Amino acid sequence: MYGTTAKILRVDLTTGNIETQTLSEDFYRLYPGGKALAGYILLTELPPRTDPFAPENVLVFANGLLTGAPVSTATRYVVSARSPLTGGYGESEAGGFWGPELKMAGWEAIVVKGKAPTPVYLWVNGDQVEIRPAGHLWGRFTAEVQEEIRRELGDDKIRVLQIGPAGEKRVRFAGITNDLRHFNGRNGLGAVMGSKNLRAIAVRGNQRYQSLAYDAKTLMGIGGKLAKMVKENPLSWDLQQRGTPGLVEPLNTGGILPTRNFLQGAFENVDEVKWEAYEREIFTASRTCYACAVRCKREVKVDGRESPYGGPEYETVGAFGPNCGISDIHAIAKANELCNAYMLDSISCGATIAFAMECFEHGLLTLADTGGLDLRFGNAEAMLKVIELIGRREGIGDLLAEGSKRAAEKIGGDAPYFAMQVKGQELAMHEPRGKYNVGIGYAVSEIGADHLVVAHDTAFARPEAIQLKAAAPLGITQALPPRSLGEEKMEMFYILEKWNSLEKVTGFCFFGPAPRSFIPPEDVLLSINAATGWNLTMEEALTIGERATNLARLFNAREGFTRKDDTLPERLFTGLQNGALQGQAMPRDEFEQALTILYQKKGWDPQTGLPTAEKLRQLGLDWAVSVISEQ
Amino acid sequence: MKLYAGGHLTFYMPGRKHSLEISLREPTPLREILAQLGIPLPEVALTALNGELVEAETAIVRDEDQVKVFSAVNGG
């Protein structure tokens, strides 16, 4: 068996028991890592309707099949559990160095069950694994904790994955960080980790991925070729130059920059938050993830000093900037630092504060509720104070720490209308009224509103554009308008969703493979085959992605999710208030018809939105047919 | 005319600079200017002429104009 260490580390924090599970080749071929492995474990080991904060919740850290390979952007691992934010399948991916280090330590995944009686951290030093006390780390910011763990263990090259004070306090959108700069932000999985009294997992390894590969020479050759391609491909070159903050101005020009809680699509002060302002005011350097030549990560100054937490990505600039009506790039950088110190998902945090600002402007929240904070759109000082209150669950922060959906239900009145969420998770900073497949992705995603379900529509609008041409090996050849739905658009969605899901199984970043970025699909396939010796076809590879999506769908079916949950916030069916797409709305009837078409393509029942028995058998998931028959 | 090329269109600009100034003696089709610079028209998703959205294929620009062109933005 090649391309894998075939070992899973299993830790029961209640008993302190530590075990090793060895995977079989048959199992590995069906569930070869990341999303697929995590989905299988959750579906088979987590009892339905388990309280996300109960010791019985299962927390999985699963490397992708290629995580740690010497191939740019193959750095990612999945964290998964039942989400306290959505109540459904929880999942979030991160890059950085922790996943590759875990592979070098000899492990494909860590499965954590139970709850430690007192705070602990896990120390994985190759095959030596130890549960250590973490009482002295509890309540402290992430930068201090990383330094303390490295000092305590006497090795500054140890990779530290951890939660922050927000996860300890069970903020429902608390995230997980590694190396302080890479984040499993979404779905509140940091709160699950906190509920288990698990502050951190420190890892050190000394193997090399090449020793696991079927054909290391070919794999190294692909890696070398891709590293050279980064500077010669316009898409990856742009990511290297500007990082994701480069998205701000073009989105604004196109009228699809979420502004003031998605009321508007253009921000009048965009010049103060676009990349040129970011570069001039806060940017200091570029950084990267393990073995990645793209180098899209940003370093910044905050309060006149180098921040230990890296710089805000586009999502963070968008969430704390235009979506809160704020044009102070320094305040946005500070908001990013606070999120990373407390370890909050910056998307959900910014979006929840934008929701609160709209509630405040409509009198649904008052100065008495906010502790005297004038929480109107544009008040950067109030925004920064609220982030800290959320991180500590104090005052208005305790309410907002529940996420916008739960907070809206408690506030009442029109508040639920202002909560821009799907399945309880806040929308990312992408406007579906200008990119309809992004809206379909928000609706059908098993983790709630997620912007990484498919490559966005705008890539495929022009017949001769490089991204459309790069998608040809996937079977996508026809240019389609971003604001369109229907049969052909849903076929595009279906293929792209399988492809993106494959990325989450294999450990590739959204900014690696075409059509979003520079790696030809053929080279993705070649990398998988060089690692494993499988000789997969493209169709077989896409089936791996589809299988993983169906596992997550089955998990949600068991928790009571159906087609009715695949929807969008009501506001998106109304017109944008300004910008290039002023007046444009998501067409409700076309949206519902598109969902029906998509379900049929996916082999899901159009009435319930659940996979059919026939589809599950086709995917080799015969054992899971009972999951749907019990619904 | 001042031209700004955003997103991955900067890749095609001379010296890979995001902006440049071009002297125009007479009104000129933007597509001719983009062709001279080597910016592929299919990659141009958005064009703003003095702040107003126009089509790159048909826009006519003058010496005093400010033009911004952007590639498709893909999120992430």
- Strand (E) or helix (H) holding A396: helix A396-400
Please provide the DSSP assignment of A306-345 as one string.
E-TT----HHHHHHHTGGGT---HHHHHHHHHHHHHHTB-
Residues of chain B found within 8 Å of residue A250, distances taken between Cβ atoms: 6-7, 45-46, 70-71, 73
**Closest C-alpha among A523, A505, A498 to residue A513:** A523
Provide the chain B residues 14-53 that lie in CB contact (below 8 A) with chain A: 16, 40, 42-43, 45-46, 48, 53
Give the confidence band of A373 by pLDDT, cuts at 50, 70, 90. very high
Per CATH, the number for B2-70 is: 3.10.20.30
| Domain boundaries defined on chain B | 2-70
CA distance A270 to chain B (A): 13
Q: Do A464 and B40 lie within an 8 Å CB cutoff?
A: yes
Residue B24 CA to chain centroid, in angstroms? 14
Q: Identify the three-state secondary structure at position A226.
A: helix
CA distance B2 to chain A (A): 16
In a domain? residue A425 = no
pLDDT of A449 over the 80 cut: yes
What is chain B's alpha carbon radius of gyration, rounded to the nearest angstrom?
11
CB-based contact (8 Å) between B6 and chain A? yes
Structure tokens at A47: 């009892």
CATH of the domain at A73: 3.60.9.10
Let me know whether A562 and A495 are in one domain.
yes
Q: What is the pLDDT of residues A391-411, one digit of tens each?
A: 999 999 999 999 999 999 999
CA distance A445 to B73: 21
Residues of chain B found within 8 Å of residue A580, distances taken between Cβ atoms: 53
Of A428, A455, A462, the CB nearest to B74: A455
Let me know whether A409 and A530 are in one domain.
no
Average pLDDT over residues A387-391: 98
CB-based contact (8 Å) between B56 and chain A? no
Let me know whether A183 and A320 are in one domain.
no
CB-based contact (8 Å) between B54 and chain A? no
Q: Do B74 and A253 lie within an 8 Å CB cutoff?
A: no
Q: What is the pLDDT of residue A460?
A: 95
B51: CB partners within 8 A, 6+ apart: B66
CB-based contact (8 Å) between A451 and chain B? yes
Mean pLDDT of chain A, nearest integer: 97
Q: Do A250 and B42 lie within an 8 Å CB cutoff?
A: no
Q: Do B73 and A511 lie within an 8 Å CB cutoff?
A: no
Where on the phi/psi map is residue A602: left (φ > 0), alpha (ψ -120 to 50), or beta? alpha
CA distance A400 to A386: 9
Interface test with A, best of B10, B66, B73 (most A CBs within 10 A): B73
Let me know whether A450 and A496 are in one domain.
yes
Average pLDDT over residues A163-177: 98
Interface test with A, best of B8, B10, B37 (most A CBs within 10 A): B8
Let me know whether A254 and A304 are in one domain.
yes
Let me know whether A179 and A317 are in one domain.
no
Q: How many H helices and E strands in chain B?
A: 1, 7
Q: Do A234 and B71 lie within an 8 Å CB cutoff?
A: yes
- Name beta bridge partners: A286: A298
CA distance B24 to chain A (A): 25
In a domain? residue A333 = yes
Q: What is the pLDDT of residue A476?
A: 97
Q: Where are the beta strands (DSSP E) in A325-436?
A: 421-422, 425-426
Position A558: which residue type? Answer: R
CB-based contact (8 Å) between A250 and chain B? yes
CA distance A628 to B7: 45
The parent domain of residue A538 ranges over 436-629
Give the confidence band of A631 by pLDDT, cuts at 50, 70, 90. confident
CA distance A59 to chain B (A): 25
CA distance A176 to A342: 10
CA distance A468 to A470: 5
pLDDT of A470 over the 80 cut: yes
Q: Do B75 and A241 lie within an 8 Å CB cutoff?
A: no
Residues of chain A found within 8 Å of residue B71, distances taken between Cβ atoms: 234, 238, 250
Q: What is the dihedral of CA A192, A195, A197, A203, to 10 degrees?
A: 0
Let me know whether A45 and A148 are in one domain.
yes
- Measured distance between the N- and C-terminal CA atoms of chain A, rounded to whole angstroms: 37
**Phi and psi, residue A122, nearest 5°:** -105, 135
Q: What is the pLDDT of residue A503?
A: 98
CATH of the domain at A288: 1.10.569.10
Give the confidence band of B76 by pLDDT, cuts at 50, 70, 90. low
**Closest C-alpha among A523, A514, A538 to residue A465:** A514
Residue recorded with tokens 């994701």: A244
pLDDT of A256 over the 80 cut: yes
In a domain? residue A200 = yes
CATH of the domain at A620: 1.10.599.10
Q: What is the pLDDT of residues A268-318, one digit of tens each?
A: 999 999 999 999 999 999 999 999 999 999 999 999 999 999 999 999 999
Let me know whether A406 and A539 are in one domain.
no
Let me know whether A199 and A87 are in one domain.
yes
In a domain? residue A224 = no
Nearest-CA residue of chain A relative to B54?
A580
Instruction: Examine the fold and report which residue of A413, A445, A480 is the final residue of a domain before the chain moves on.
Output: A413
Let me know whether A200 and A250 are in one domain.
no
**Closest C-alpha among A510, A511, A516 to residue A459:** A516
Asked if A129 and A105 count as a contact pair (C-beta separation under 8 A), the reply is no
ipTM above 0.85, yes or no: yes
Residues of chain A found within 8 Å of residue B13, distances taken between Cβ atoms: none
What is the maximum span of chain B, computed from C-alpha positions, in angstroms?
A: 42
Q: Please count the residue pairs, one from chain A and one from chain B, whose beta carbons lie less than 8 angstroms apart.
A: 80
CA distance B60 to chain A (A): 19
In a domain? residue A151 = yes
In a domain? residue A222 = no
How many independent structural domains does chain A possess? 3
Let me know whether A392 and A271 are in one domain.
yes
Residues of chain A found within 8 Å of residue B43, distances taken between Cβ atoms: 234, 462, 465-466
Q: Do A451 and B75 lie within an 8 Å CB cutoff?
A: yes
Q: What is the pLDDT of residues A508-553, one digit of tens each?
A: 999 999 999 999 999 999 999 999 999 999 999 999 999 999 999 9
In a domain? residue A422 = no
In a domain? residue A219 = no
Half-sphere exposure at residue A115, Cβ-oriented, CA atoms within 13 angstroms: 14
Let me know whether A252 and A199 are in one domain.
no
What is the maximum span of chain A, computed from C-alpha positions, in angstroms?
A: 66
CA distance A225 to A82: 39
Percent helix, strand, coil in chain A (nearest 5)? 45, 15, 40
Give the confidence band of B73 by pLDDT, cuts at 50, 70, 90. confident
CA distance A587 to A591: 6
Q: Do B42 and A430 lie within an 8 Å CB cutoff?
A: no
Give the confidence band of A433 by pLDDT, cuts at 50, 70, 90. very high
Residues of chain B found within 8 Å of residue A466, distances taken between Cβ atoms: 42-43
CA distance A66 to A209: 9
pLDDT of A448 over the 80 cut: yes
